[in-house]
Amino acid sequence: MVRTNISLKSVRKIIRLSATNIVLIGFMGSGKSAVGRLLAKSKQNFFLDTDAMIESAEGKSIPKIFEEDGEEYFRSLEESVVSWLINNVNDAVISTGGGMLVYCEKLKEVGKIVYLKVPFETIMSRMDKNELKKRPLFNDLEKARVLYDERNSVYEKRADIIISADASIEVVFSRLRDAVA
């Protein structure tokens, strides 16, 4: 019998290197879904949105999940989505909820992590009433600002590629397309 001495960490690394998904991360309202959809179309790949997957699996909106089941339950759903993506998805463009990589570092095994970096002020200017209503963690602006600063350093540390996304969707899309080409 041939014994190999490969650590779990190395196996994870091999899996990660072989995954060809593009995973978009960034703060709420950074344009992950809009730009991700354009990228997927241009690459003729499928586009997945983890928030939409969770909403359709649960049959209710994210604010309702937060309200009725709590944030912890939502994070456990995100973790299940990440495990499923690792085992089942290749060659897709995936837009993630803003907290997914923060709470679940395993997301890095899904594919290449691309951070769409947008200043907090720009995010605020993009948020109308309707967009705010969809995001329970934006209920308190002071708290959202603090969360932004905390998250930004985590995103920067864990991303494979950082894209300045303080621009129109078309410009961000072309930066993204060049960066992942």
**What residues line the site for ligand S3P (CB under 6 A)?**
28, 51, 62, 97-99, 135-137
Instruction: Specify the residue for token string 């041939």.
Output: 2
Structure tokens at 6: 């490969």
Calpha distance 23→97 (Å, rounded): 11
Least CB distance from residue 51 to ligand S3P, whole Å? Answer: 5
Looking at the Cβ atoms of 11 and 73, the one nearer to ligand S3P is 73
The SS3 of residue 2 is coil
Using Cβ positions, the residue closest to ligand S3P within the complex turns out to be: 97
Strand-pair category, 92-95 with 111-117: unpaired
Nearest distance from C-beta of residue 72 to ligand S3P, angstroms? 12
The distance of closest approach from Cβ of residue 1 to ligand S3P in the complex, given in angstroms and rounded to an integer, is 46
Burial class (CB in 10 A: 0-12, 13-18, 19+), 181: exposed
CB 131, min distance to ligand S3P, A:
8
Nearer to ligand S3P, 41 or 64 (CB): 64
